Amino acid sequence: MSLEQQLTDLLKQSMKDHDQRTADTIRMLKTKLMERRTAKGFSGAVDDALVVEVIAAYRKQLQKALEEFTAAGSRGAEHAGDLAAEIAFCERFLPKGLDEAALRALVKERIAALGIADPKQVGRLVGDIMKTHKGQVEANDVKRIAAEELGKAGE
């Protein structure tokens, strides 16, 4: 069963169960998917990879909003809980990311394999890792760890 069909089935079930939060989250995901499908220049099939990409983008958007609501203190606390629930729902469909230790090991291995010694070549490293581990790592985390590792090498 495709991810898009799973979302449709979950929407039906959440409506039967009167689970408004889940239904709203799924509706938003389906809206984001429709926006992508009807975007100018899109000419492909809607496969699971595209659905995962849309869910990941939406989760990232929610995480930014969560940071802002958390920074607002007590005024944003109510919405922060809702956003955290939406993020948790989205993560059910996304591949598990690498933890800090595994990411650090991957970065060290790719630095050695690519022969990168100059911090100015971090972009090449990030591109290489993002190609092979899309959805599992964040580019900012790769940049941060690469800068730490290359900084150690330069000392």
- At residue 155, the pLDDT reads 47
Residue that terminates a domain, selected from 43, 60, 91: 91
**Whether residue 59 sits in one domain with residue 15:** yes
Q: Which of 9-18, 64-73, 133-142 has the highest mean pLDDT?
A: 9-18
Q: By residue range, what is the domain housing residue 112?
A: 100-154
**Eight-class DSSP state of 76:** G
pLDDT for 98:
72
CATH of the domain at 17: 1.10.1510
Number of domains the chain contains: 2
**Co-location of 86 and 130 in the same domain:** no
What CA–CA distance (Å, rounded) separates 139 from 146? 10
Of the residues 40, 64, 91, the one at which a domain ends? 91
For the segment 88-95, the average pLDDT, to the nearest whole number, is 86
Residues 6+ apart with CB under 8 A from 22: 10, 14, 89
Distance CA 83, CA 66 (A): 6
| Residue 153, pLDDT above cutoff 70 | no
Same domain, 83 and 19: yes
Q: Rounded to two decimals, what is the model's pTM?
A: 0.69
Q: Please check whether residues 75 and 137 belong to one and the same domain.
A: no
Q: What is the pLDDT of residue 17?
A: 96
Is residue 38 located within the same domain as residue 21?
yes
